[in-house]
């Protein structure tokens, strides 16, 4: 079996790392925007604020479960 050129391998690793970091940044930006929306709403009571935070947490848990089960 032929070995990959070390320069090519290093270049592929670098490209993969950049893409991975880009995806992570996009994901964090999305969830941060969603959290900011919740924070900026005028919640009349603490209970309503907590309920919306709970929904946000549930959305994140559901997404993580989907990723885990699909192996994405």
- Running DSSP on this structure, what letter comes out for residue 15? H
Q: Which pLDDT band holds residue 5 (cuts at 50, 70, 90)?
A: confident
Predicted confidence at residue 53, as pLDDT, reads: 96
Q: Is residue 21 in a domain?
A: yes
Domain membership of residue 2 (yes or no) is no
Domain count, the chain: 2
pLDDT class for 1, splitting at 50, 70, 90?
A: low
Task: For residue 55, tell me if it sits in a domain.
Answer: yes
Q: Is 52 in the same domain as 36?
A: no
Torsion angle of C-alpha atoms 24, 30, 33, 38, degrees rounded to 10: -120
Q: Looking at the predicted structure, is the pLDDT value of residue 71 above 90?
A: no
pLDDT at position 6 over 90: no
Domain ranges, residue 19: 8-40
Q: Tell me, yes or no, whether 25 and 50 share the same domain.
A: no
Residues 11-56 pLDDT 10s: 999 999 999 999 999 999 999 999 999 999 999 999 999 999 999 9
């Amino acid at each position: 079996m032929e070995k990959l050129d070390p320069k090519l391998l290093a270049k592929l690793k670098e490209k993969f790392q950049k893409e991975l970091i880009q995806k992570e940044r996009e994901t964090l930006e999305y969830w941060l925007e969603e959290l900011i929306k919740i924070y900026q709403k005028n919640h009349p009571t603490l209970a309503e604020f907590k309920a919306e935070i709970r929904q946000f947490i549930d959305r994140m848990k559901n997404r993580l479960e989907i990723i885990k089960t699909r192996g994405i």
